[in-house]
Amino acid sequence: MAADCEAWLSANPVDAEDLSDSFVSGDEDNGRSSTINKNSEINGNWISSTSNSIHEARLKAKAKRRLRKNSSRDSGRGDSLSDNGDMVRGTSAAPTSPKSKLLDRKSRQGKGRGLPKKGGAGGKGVWGRSGEVYGPEQVDEKDPNYDETQENCVYETVVPPLNERDFEKTVTPIVQEYFEHGDTNEVTELLKGLNLGTMRSEVPSLAVSLALEAKASQRELTSRLLSDLCGPVLSHSDLENSFDKLLRELPDLVLDTPGAPQLVGQFIARAVSDQILSEGYIEGYKGRVDCEYARAALDRAAVLLKMSLGGLRIDNQWGTGGGQRPVMQLIKEMSLLLKEYIVSGDCKEAERCLKDLEVPHFHHEFVYKAIVMALESKGDKTFNMVLQLLKSISASSVITVDQMRRGYMRVYMDIAEINIDVPRAYFLLEQFVDQSLSRGIIDVKLRDVCPCRGRKRFVSEGDGGLVKL
């Protein structure tokens, strides 16, 4: 048998590429035999098969074997084999996952679902068992890195102290927000959370410098803030150092606020009255002041303290700003403001005083008082001056259109009662409204709703002297 095989191989030599592990299927055998039969006979002469036909048959067989090998992995992708033996990828189904096989967490052995490992015996778990609570870790004294001093360590959060640049960026927004809400407790808690360090004495000077350019009500809030911060955050020495710095910086503060010496003197007097500065603070500067601005501030503080002995309340020298004041007090101040304007005739001063009241929601009372004063006046001087004042304030937008309208409507509603004291009130109001329209203070709609008194007509004597409207 062996001798027959050797004789056959010597008669039919085979290349190394033909020696394959797999058998050729029936289709491959039929395809190869048909190809050989077609190409075996040319021009009626019988010849052996060419190398090209054999090579093409081998490529097709290899492609089919590769397709069967990858069919389980790419079964849903619609791969097919072309006539030339090339791989053609179908477009009927999209890949099941955009991730590549390198990033796939599935097991290569086909086991498991790619989930993270769970805790097991022997400490092999990554995250531990579900619901497991860890107790305090036992320290091994035999550990070469064991240090017995570490057991008594106390770890605390350390806040670095603020420098000068960070201090202004941090504390300035706190003070400005305080001017809006007026809650000293919130400022105290915020400052306690900061490590002020050596910048602690800078807090009062920063607050006072910001209040110099603010309103009177905000200066009052600043005085209250300094009084409440003394103790929890600041000490008496911190306040003294802060006012010393303000007196030294007065030449620079005057450039932005001309009245800074008088205002700083009032802050010093208020601080002494609130007992956050010692009574001998002013006396300690006698004969040692060379700056004229600092001398003016100390003189102002000394005068206010002497006046307090006569009954002046320094604790309310700035006044209560905005809507915190009683309504009757606001009405009284507006009446005094109008009387002062009638005497002086200065519209700008009247506007400034109205702004200082800080009650834009109550400006309709000012309009109402001004119109009533014009109706009760005797002569045209007050009448024209009130029109001029309302025109000036309306043009500068100190009083809004809504507040102006509400003031006029209040007069319309109360004209019947005003007419009891002023018999010609209806006639004067019509003239005042017409003049206001001509000067652009009000619009036509507000003029049209102005009330007018109907005229009475007496009938003949035969009607019994009845009055017909």
pTM of the model: 0.50
Distance CA 279, CA 214 (A): 27
Mean pLDDT of the chain: 77
- Contact 315/276 with Cβ under 8 angstroms? no
300 has pLDDT over 80: yes
CB-based burial label for 260 (10 Å; 0-12, 13-18, 19+): buried
Provide the token pair at 151: 């057991």
Q: What is the dihedral of CA 178, 182, 184, 190, to 10 degrees?
A: -30
Distance CA 265, CA 262 (A): 5
pLDDT at 284: 87
pLDDT at 103: 57
CATH topology of domain 327-449: 1.25.40
32 has pLDDT over 50: no
Write the CA distances from 435 to 217, 391, 438, 442, integer angstroms.
Answer: 37, 11, 5, 10
Q: Which of 53-67, 122-136, 307-321, 356-370 has the highest mean pLDDT?
A: 356-370
CB-based burial label for 331 (10 Å; 0-12, 13-18, 19+): middle
- Contact 323/359 with Cβ under 8 angstroms? yes
- The residue ranges of every structural domain in the chain are 164-309, 327-449
Task: Write out pLDDT tens, residues 349-402.
Answer: 999 888 888 888 899 999 999 999 999 988 889 999 999 999 999 999 899 999
pLDDT at 5: 52
Task: Write out pLDDT tens, residues 262-282.
Answer: 999 999 999 998 889 988 898
pLDDT at 57: 84
SS3 (DSSP) at 468: strand
Q: DSSP readout, 9-46?
A: HHHS---GGG--SSPP-HHHHHHHHHHHHHHHEETTEE
Q: Which of 116-125, 143-152, 212-221 has the highest mean pLDDT?
A: 212-221
pLDDT at 70: 66
- Contact 460/451 with Cβ under 8 angstroms? no
pLDDT band at 405 (very low <50, low <70, confident <90, very high): very high
Strand partners, 467: 458
pLDDT at 24: 45
Residue whose pair of structure tokens reads 């803030």 in the numeric block:
225
Distance CA 379, CA 160 (A): 72
SS3 (DSSP) at 119: coil
- Contact 221/316 with Cβ under 8 angstroms? no
Q: DSSP readout, 248-261?
A: HTHHHHHHH-TTHH
- Contact 345/388 with Cβ under 8 angstroms? no
pLDDT band at 19 (very low <50, low <70, confident <90, very high): very low
Answer whether 164-309 and 327-449 agree in fold: yes
pLDDT band at 115 (very low <50, low <70, confident <90, very high): low
pLDDT at 228: 92
**For the chain, how far is it from start to end, CA to CA, in angstroms?**
150
Distance CA 192, CA 232 (A): 8
Provide the token pair at 328: 């009757």
pLDDT band at 114 (very low <50, low <70, confident <90, very high): low
CATH topology of domain 164-309: 1.25.40
- Contact 223/270 with Cβ under 8 angstroms? yes
Other beta carbons within 10 Å of 433: 23
pLDDT at 342: 92
